[in-house]
Chain A
Amino acid sequence: ELKVEQNPLFLSMQEGKNYTIYCNYSTTSDRLYWYRQDPGKSLESLFVLLSNGAVKQEGRLMASLDTKARLSTLHITAAVHDLSATYFCAGLDDKIIFGKGTRLHILP
């Protein structure tokens, strides 16, 4: 059964710095999802990665997928305060299973 683990679970960082959130999954996943959630809000889809080596970028966020290592990363470049949120990854076997989320706090 698919298990999804994210780390770190909490991250506090300075504006302007770079950092990476890691998402490991336990068995074959047909695709990998990344989401953003602001406090008290619903989830917003960021990226869907469909194949090994897939890389997608939107602004300061870049996601990649290594299916052989069962690892996806979400890289933040030159962080800004507006990126403060909780980020989730999720994998797919016959259903979509989430990690516990990474709460990102960016200090001005």
Chain B
Amino acid sequence: NAGVTQTPKFQVLKTGQSMTLQCAQDMNHNSMYWYRQDPGMGLRLIYYSASEGTTDKGEVPNGYNVSRLNKREFSLRLESAAPSQTSVYFCASTMLQGTSLNNEQFFGPGTRLTVL
């Protein structure tokens, strides 16, 4: 049981390059999230997917796209990277159904992205 996995762990891009961050979970969760973390800013929600087949914008969606490929996988794409997108990106998943006992949100290890 790997939990939430993310690839890559580190990436350096040049301005204008594109890339896709991959995220997968094996906990049969219905909801998945992408956050970015910048010093002093906490975690800001980029996009989320409440269930398979749906995606919605979060607090800071500009410059990003997402795909909920299936129940397990949720990818984040930067079409034309900019220095302002230098950040640590976290993927997370949870089960949002009813009032089950736990409903914890589990995080992946993060991707450290630098855009030059």
Measured CB to CB, the residues of A under 8 A from B are: 31, 33, 42-45, 48, 50, 88, 90, 92, 94-101
Contact = CB atoms under 8 A, between A and B. Distances in A.
A96 B33 contact: yes
Given A45-B106, A48-B102, A50-B103, A98 B35 contact: yes
A5 B44 CA distance: 13
A43 B99 CA distance: 23
Interface residues of B, number: 27
A43 B56 contact: no
A43 B42 contact: no
B110 A42 contact: yes
Contacts of A96: 33, 45, 48, 92, 94, 105
Contact of A100 (B40, B59, B92, B102): B40
